[in-house]
């Protein structure tokens, strides 16, 4: 199992059992897929930095049949482009009540909360972290938010944290070997 921090009261076996059920991974963007920096150039263009291994992890999850969605409170063409590159079709931007998008995704894929993982980093993510069957926060998440997570990644947002979760989900489903062997 990847080295992940986990809440002390959740045994490893229970954590893997919960991860095995996941059919949808929902990611916040700023602070999770990115390091939270928003860079604006002299022409007003917004720049964001994404970690290549996070993207590869997302692609492997999708190859394994796990849906991936993005929910963010900001609107950015960069996010649209990155989602397109990765093949992520479910992208909710300028979403101020993330529970609405969460519920829409749950209904779309006919999933209950136990089949959904959510990765966040800030207090706006708390309502969704409370609903998701597998709530995760990145290592540099706001301290208050960490109390709502089953898993806290070792890596920070935008620095490979998403890949940690992807690897964990694949391993829990027994599919990590299939991916590395090219059988997926």
| 33 Cβ neighbours under 8 A, 6+ residues apart | 27, 50, 51, 54, 70, 82, 157, 158, 162
CA distance 15 to 165: 12
User: Which pTM was predicted?
Assistant: 0.92
Q: Any idea where the domains of the chain sit in the sequence?
A: 5-180
Q: Name which CATH class applies to 5-180.
A: alpha beta
* Tens digits of residue pLDDT in 13-51: 888 999 999 999 999 999 999 999 989 999 988 899 999
Residue 149: is its pLDDT beyond 70?
A: yes
Tell which wins on pLDDT, 92 or 179. 92
């Amino acid at each position: 199992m990847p080295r992940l921090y986990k809440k002390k009261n959740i045994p490893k076996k229970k954590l893997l059992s919960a991860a095995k059920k996941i059919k949808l991974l929902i990611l916040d963007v700023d602070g999770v897929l990115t390091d939270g920096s928003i860079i604006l150039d002299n022409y007003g263009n917004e720049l964001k930095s994404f970690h290549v291994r996070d993207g590869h992890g997302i692609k492997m999850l999708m190859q394994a049949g796990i849906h991936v969605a993005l929910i963010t409170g900001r609107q950015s063409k960069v996010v649209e482009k990155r989602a397109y590159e990765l093949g992520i079709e479910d992208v909710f931007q300028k979403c101020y009540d993330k529970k609405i998008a969460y519920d829409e995704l749950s209904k779309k894929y006919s999933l209950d909360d136990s089949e959904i993982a959510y990765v966040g980093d800030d207090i706006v993510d708390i309502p969704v972290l409370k609903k998701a069957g597998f709530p995760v926060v990145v290592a540099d998440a706001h301290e208050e938010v960490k109390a709502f997570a089953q898993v806290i990644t070792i890596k920070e947002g935008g620095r490979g944290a998403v890949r940690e979760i992807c690897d964990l989900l694949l391993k829990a489903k027994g599919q990590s070997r299939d991916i590395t062997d090219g059988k997926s």
